[in-house]
Structures are given as structure tokens and as C-alpha cells.
Structure 1
């Protein structure tokens, strides 16, 4: 590709003439572009056929079709778009980089330049029509883009017009997203936003396409917005008014009215649920991300070292248990994490916000935990924490995850250029100890707080204050010949530890056998003064 350095070298001489070297190569490019019949747009104007190709100047970025003279003027004025060494939008064959898929790279490996987010997807939508099937493809021939993905790519191109004619730096999409990010990060009210945008519009040249207010900004981005659901919930966290219960006006557990008042019908509590499946599909619409979604399988593991969860025993155990799932390396492995906080800085105005996040572990470790790739699945807002009723709010997420595991959804892979049936599994949850109790339904308080030893931990309550204590409860886990077992000075006085305690790793079925007969701890109306607890609670089980 070194023979195309002329594309980014000097175009104009000191005498304001076109440089001879650039002119010669540039004419060759135009001849090549208009010789490829598959990439030409034909229009009939005044009875004559007009041929157009995508303009690769730094302003049009291969998005607009233009005739030969217009492409020539644009290139001479604006230069080529960055890193367009491979003319894939003009019929040239594509050479895939031999760089290993597991290696880190900050730029796209396909000569498309450093495009991010939706801009990268716009380039990918053109890539689908001009690049032959990569070697890693699982099918012998490229498949057609399914109608849903094609419509999405088309909507991206529609909202990606330049902010004004001959604007080189910003498109409508870029400006709209940057303004919304500013509004969110700075907590700008709608009224202020609506006053600021007209000022910017007045500063821009004639023909600008900047949205005039907040409503127009949202309207511009609506076609490419990700779906979400607003689900009403009981104010006492008993149930969701969801699916078969969506028509109820009173909670079927506590009888509380669904709305704040009967006239306006404003709900007491609203759960915001962002559908997971569609968000995971979008990752495969970008060819760079689609390539990295199999990193967990493609990277080379070093014996004895764990650099990614895919090198661990849990991952290997799941693959051995569900080989049909593991056979398709593009199937998605997720983790779930949550914690609550008070968005108000003062405790005098109590409010609870519980976000639930999904992390994608298919990605390499340097990307998986970046905020751009951590998906927000649920937002639980209210005056008080959901506590032990967190599972009520997790219902729509769990239902979708079960569907995505047992069934599948057709997804288009922009890198391999084929459709596949994507399945999803939730491998584990990550949380602090209090949130662990909320997620699992098992209390983490009292002398049975240890999740492994339970009633065999040896914990006890202090005589004064009754706080649980685990002093000297750990020596039983040491090797039988460890010196600490015979230490009679630094632990319990004059006590040697002879008990050998192995940490058990019970299966899900074994745990279910232990707890299936236990009723729900807080059964009936939540938060009532006297909650009846089953026999043995806090003594033999939690």
C-alpha cells in the first residue's frame, strides 16, 4: 500500500496548479472507479445516462454518490478521506490483515480509518457490498443482510448528513449526540437546552441542519434509538403490572392502588427496562466489534495463567456441560452486577436508585469493562430500596435471558457477512455482600453469613452486644500439617485445631434439595410489622 502514499501527499504546487504526480495517479483512480460496473449508480437526466460513484473526499466519506467532475473537484479541494488505501467502495478486493485477532489495536484493521460508534457502522454498511468473504467466515458464500439490519444501516446514513453544505467536521448525528451528552453530563434542564440551540443555529452558515430544540434532537435520533419498556410497579415492591397483570389497578398482594391519583393516573413506581437482545445484536453490526466478539475463543492462553474469564474453570465447566452452546463461539456470555445508591447528596431527602448492569465477557479484557460496553439493563427508582424484593424487578430481564438461552434470535455478523442464531447465557453475578443477599434471596447477616460453611463455620455471638464473630474459625481450612494448627498462643488460648473442613462446591440441584421446602421469608404483605419466619431461620439456615 506504500504506492498509494500519493493520496495524502501535496496536491497543489506553489503556483496553485495541481501537482503532476497527484494528477496522474488521481486520473487513474477515477478511471478505475468508473470502470467497475457493480459500484456505479446510474440516473437518467434529460434523456441522458449520468454515472455516479461514491465520493471518497474527506467531506463525503464515501456516503454520497457524485458524477466524475464533482468527485474530481471535491478531491482536489478536500483531499481523500483518512486511511482510504484500499478502495473497497469502488470495487477493489479487500485484503484482510494477518494480525492475530487477539492482539490489541486502537484502529480498524481494514483501511477504513479510525471511526467510532455509529460512524463506524455507516462505513460497515458499505463494507458489506464491497468486501469478499473473510477467511474466518462460517459459510462458503456471503449472505444477504437481513431486512432489519439493512433498514438500520439505511437510517444511519439518513441521519449522517453534514451539518451544513461543505461542512467537513460534523454531521447531524455527531452534533445531536454531543449535545445530548452535554445535557446529561451537566444536568442541563430542557428550558436551558431549548434556549442555547437557537443561539448556535444563528452562528452557523445558511442551510445548516442543527436541531432547533430538545424535541427535534430526540426526533432525529429516534430511528436508531434502542428499545426500552416502562413497567409500572407496586409502591411496596410486591409485584409488577406486567404481561397478564398489566390491566390490574390494584396490587394483588397488598391491595395498594397502582396510581398516585385516579384522575391523571400517574404511576406510583416505574421500572425502566432496556431490552438486552437488541443491544447485543448491535455489537455484531459493527465489523470491528463482531470480530472481537469471538476473542474469548481466538486468543492464545498461556498455561498456568488466567488473563480472561475464558481461561477459568467456571467457563470450561459450562462449555463441557453445554457443548452445543460452546460450539458457536459467537454466542454471548454475560455477567450481571448491581448496587444501589442515593442520587441525592443529603440523607434528608431519601431516594433509592438501583441500576442493573450487564457485562459482555466475549470481548477482550481491555474492552469488556469499559463503560462503552457495559450495558444498562434495568433502572429501579423509588423512595426506598427494593431489598429482598429485588427479584420482583428482575422478572423481565430473567424472562428475556431464559428465552435467549433456550431459543435464539437471528443476528447479522458484519465481519463474517452472514446470519447466525445468537444465544445468550448469564454466567455469574458480581456484587458486594449486601447486594448478594438481595440477588440470591439468602440473608448475609448473623452467624450463618458465610455462604460456604453455613452452620459449620464455628461462628458465635459476643456476650455483650450479641454481634456475630468469626474469631479463630479459619484454621480448620489450613493443610493438616500447617504450623498454625498447633499454635496455642496467637489464637484461642491453649487450643489446637484438629478438625479438617473442606469447602464444598454443591451443584444447583443439591442446593435446591436443601431449600425447596422453605417458604419465602417475607411472605404476604411486605414490610408489615411482624413477619413470620420459618422454623430454624438464623439457626440452621438463612
Structure 2
């Protein structure tokens, strides 16, 4: 009986999201034992789970006495969580305020109701409630949206030049009607006599700010506890079970000890790749989503879809190519703000506010995507980003294609027998040269800083930096 109740492991993590339940009656969600006779029906449970999923919560989030008052944004979340537990009487059924408002707003969307029509329906519905319950629900459309907006993920719709050379982003650029780089119009050219016609944007991108979602990870007591799991990675272990065990992670913390002093600071990785949303049978189209992964969490959680955040959708129809730097500007600005100043965040596990900062450790992509992000072209004889100008690639005599055959022997130990093999590799060649030197971050930065600025845009004449394809393969100075 003891094993059935407490299990084999003292610190076993209960997988709430996957449906596993605890035998310990002390672990309860809010409202399961505190609603004085109300029984949660399936609809209420659905909205309660929707709130938990939207906030990216794991495990417990009980409202215990707080040592420090939560900040304004965290308080808004707890108010919404309270709305998911406040019941109103609706005839013979008892529903929560959150589920009632969500269904009312869903009706507005389904039937394309105006705000005035919806408020008339809201007023009629409130009359059917008791005076006590009328005080619990919003009185107008503005109050309803204000309550429900805390649950949704905010986004920004940013206008883009049709040639990907300019963003109408920031106070000084948001009122422009034409691209200052290529002169293309911001809007579709239409009959200007139709004064009441609304201008139609030619191209735009969707940007989802990352800061609020990182703050939400600390609003759950269980998730906030896991956000410092990376400290538990053994420094003496030879096995890399998590990025925190890698040399890159350790080098970063030695380089920036002030950032590493606060274990709650967030370590991120960026990933992007293009795909055709219409499938192989559809028209040619290239859409590029940009994802951010949180590496503070343990291995079984950091790769869950709940903790991989979509930060940007770059629409096609063509791949942005090297112009992706223009489109990444909003994300880079937000990451710079998180790195430099941080943001006040409430830690529900330690019950205190702190300044949360974030760092982008690396990017993950395929080889063509690497070329777009890094600025080093992955095409041609100098495409290898490790060998760079020291490559031994050559062009085939008849096929005219670049071959990297027999470029690997230089990485073998000096006494390896393959180095003296003249038959099975490049004919009549003995490999005596050492491997090409690996540039560290400082040397690479010096090279990149010497590159000239280029003008982005698909409509402009193809630009190339002097020496491209001969002494280097740089096509731009990367935004990273």
C-alpha cells in the first residue's frame, strides 16, 4: 500500500499534461475542493485546461500566500485564473465566468456581429442572471475583451516592402507610403477616386513577441522550479545529456559571469526553415516560420511543443534569402532588450519578482538555412564554413560541379595510414597538411566587421563583396 500511494521514487515528476494523476490528495488544482458544492462539468474543465495550455503551465499552480506581491502582468494572469473558478447560476446549470464570456465572444465571431449588436445580446443575457451574478460578469465588449485578452497570445502585423528590402517598423517608418530603398508602393495601386476604399497592404509578416511567453513560464510554480534545472547538470559527467553539459554552454557562462549568476535567466536557441504550406502538389511557395526553444528546462520538457515558441512567420512566395536579416529586425530588437535590460518577472516558485534576462546561444538550421542566417554562402567551392578559404575542393573537369572528394584526410592523425594511401583516395597524392585552423569568436568578428555594408532587396542588382568566391564566401554582415 505504501508503494501504491507514494511510489518508488521520492522526487518523481508527475506528468499532468499527459493525463497522469497523483495519489496524494494534497496536490490539487484550484477549485477542485474549494467551490462550496459546485461540481466542475466537462465544459468548465475544457476552459480550465485551455487556460493552463495557453499559459504553458506544468503541474501545480496553487495560489499560496505570497512572500512578495506579483507584478502587474502576473496579477492579470491570476485574475483570469480566478475568473475560471468563479461560478454563476444559469438556470439549472452552474458555469464559470470565463466559459460564459468565451462562448459569447465565439458567437460574435461565428455570426460576424458588430460590437453594438453583441453588447445588446450581452445586456439581454445579463438580465437573465441574478443581481449577484450580474456583478461578476463584464458589462460591455471592452471589459470582456480586457478579461479574455490576457489568455491569448499577442501578435503584431508588420508591413513589409514587396521586395523584402524594408520594414515599416518603428515610429519614424510606420507612416511611410513607399519604400525608401526601392521606391515600391506600400499598398496595392487602386482607383484613387474611390475615397472610401481601404488601402490593401502588398506584403506583411506576423510577429509574436517572445517576452510575455517567457514570463508565463514563471507563473506556474512547477514550471518555474524546472527553469533552474540546468544547474543540476553534472560538470564531471562525460555524457552530454542536455545542452547545459556542452562546451558551448560552459564557455558562454565563463564569458558572461554576470548573466550566469542568475540561473533564472533564459537560454534560447533559434530555429528556422522554409516549407510549402500547400504541399508538394500545390503551387510553388516558401513560408519561413521562426521558432525559439527554451533550454533552461530538463531534456524531457525543453523539446515539448509547449516550450517551443513560434516568434515569426515570414510569408512567401519566395524564400527571403539573405534579406532575412531585414525581416528578423523586430525579433533581434526584442532579444537585445532582454539581454541588455531584461524585464520584471514574477517567480511563483520562490514568490518574488526578479529581472529576467535572455540570451540567444545558437541557431539551428539546415545547410542552406545556415547560409541565410550566418551570411556565409553555402554554395560554390568555398561553401564549407569550417575550411573557408583553406578548402581543397575542386571543380570536376567534365561535369563542372564542385567536388569535396578527399578533403577529409587532413583531419586524420599525422601517423594514420590513410594519409599515405595513393590508390584509394586522390590518385598519387599523399596528405601531409594539417587541418585548417578554426577561428575563434574574436577573429571571426574582426573579419565580419571589415565587410562593407550591402543594400538588401530582391529588386536591386545582385551585389557581391570584392573577393567573393575567391578569397571568401561572405555575402553580408549578419544581423546576429
- Alignment match, 2:220: 286
Aligned twin of 2:68: 143
- C-alpha distance in 2 between matches for 1:147 and 1:125: 18
> What is the CA distance between 1:122 and its match in structure 2?
12
Shift of 1:369: 1.0
Q: Structure 2 matches for 1:237-248, cutoff 5 A? A: 237-243=164-170, 244-248=172-176
Q: Is the 8 A contact 1:124 1:414 kept in 2?
A: no
Distance in 2 separating the partners of 1:525 and 1:429: 23
The one of 448, 458, 474 equivalent to 1:515 is 448
With over 3 angstroms needed to count, the CA separation of the structure-2 counterparts of 1:147 and 1:322, relative to structure 1, is: same
**Partner in structure 2 of residue 61 of structure 1:** 32
How many correspondences in the alignment? 406
Q: Secondary structure at the match of 2:74?
A: helix
The change in CA–CA distance for 1:119 and 1:340 in structure 2 (over 3 A counts) is closer
Cα offset, 1:388, TM superposition: 1.0
Q: Deviations over 1:165-214 (max 9, x none)?
A: 6879x967579999x9xx9xxxxxx76999xxxxxxxxxxx98xxxxxxx
Q: Does 1:153 align with 2:111?
A: no
1:242-261 equivalence runs, <5 A: 242-243=169-170, 244-261=172-189
Higher relative contact order (CA 8 A, sep 6+): 2
SS at the partner of 1:224? coil
Distance 1:173 1:499, change over 3 A: farther
Equivalent of 2:434 in 483, 497, 500? 500
- Map Cα deviations across residues 13-63 of structure 1 (whole Å, 9 max, x no partner): xxxxxxxxxxxxxxxxxxxxxxxxxxxxxxxxxxxxxxxxxxx99994256
Distance 1:451-1:161 versus aligned 2 partners, 3 A rule: same
Equivalent residue runs for 1:62-81 within 5 Å: 62=33, 64=35, 71=36, 74=37
Q: Match of 1:304, SS?
A: coil
CA distance in 2, matches of 1:517, 1:383: 33
User: Residues 238 and 253 of structure 1 are in contact (CA less than 8 Å); yes or no, is this contact kept in structure 2?
Assistant: yes
Cα pair 1:339 1:431 within 8 Å, conserved: yes
- Residues 1:303 and 2:237 aligned together: yes
Shift of 1:261: 3.5
CA RMSD of aligned residues (A): 3.8
Q: 1:418 to 1:495 in 2, by over 3 A?
A: same
How far 1:116 sits from its partner (Å)? 4.9
Instruction: Select the residue among 292, 302, 319 that pairs with 1:358.
Output: 292
> Is residue 2:261 matched to residue 1:336?
no
DSSP 3-state at the match of 2:293: strand
Deviation at 1:497, TM superposition (A): 0.9
C-alpha distance in 1 between matches for 2:247 and 2:58: 39
Shift in CA distance, 167/463, structure 1 to aligned 2, threshold 3 Å: farther
* Equivalence for 1:227: 154
Spell out the pairing of 1:375-390 with structure 2 (5 A cutoff): 375-390=309-324
2-structure distance, mates of 1:327, 1:312: 18
Instruction: Give, in whole Å, the separation in 2 of the partners of 1:255 and 1:510.
Output: 38
Aligned mate of 1:406, from 299, 324, 340: 340
Cα distance, 1:482 vs structure 2: 0.8
In structure 2, what is the Cα distance between the partners aligned to 1:501 and 1:177?
Answer: 63
Which residue is equivalent to 1:127?
Answer: 63
Partner SS, residue 485 of structure 1: helix
Preserved contact between residue 28 and residue 60 of structure 2 (Cα < 8 Å): no
The 1-side partners of 2:378 and 2:470 are apart by 13
User: CA contact under 8 A between 1:352 and 1:381: conserved in structure 2?
Assistant: yes
Residues 481-534 of structure 1: CA deviation (Å, up to 9, x unaligned): 111111122101222111111441321x3123223333356x365344x42423
Following the alignment from structure 1 to structure 2, what is the Cα–Cα distance between the partners of residues 325 and 371?
27
Indicate the residue corresponding to 2:472 in structure 1.
541
Distance 1:58 1:414 in 2: 15
Q: In structure 1, what is the Cα distance between the partners aligned to 2:380 and 2:292? A: 30
Aligned twin of 1:43: none
2-structure distance, mates of 1:486, 1:295: 49
Is the aligned partner of 1:420 residue 2:347? Answer: no
Residues 58, 222 of structure 2: 8 Å contact kept: no
Matched, 1:429 2:400: no
User: Residues 298 and 174 (structure 1 numbering): CA distance in 2 closer, same or farther, change over 3 Å?
Assistant: farther
Deviations 1:291-333 (Å, cap 9, x if unpaired)?
0000001344552111011111111111111111101100000
- SS where residue 223 of structure 1 aligns? coil
Give secondary structure in 2 for the equivalent of 1:382: coil
Q: Which is greater in Rg? A: 1
Cα 1:450–1:220 shift into 2, 3 Å: same
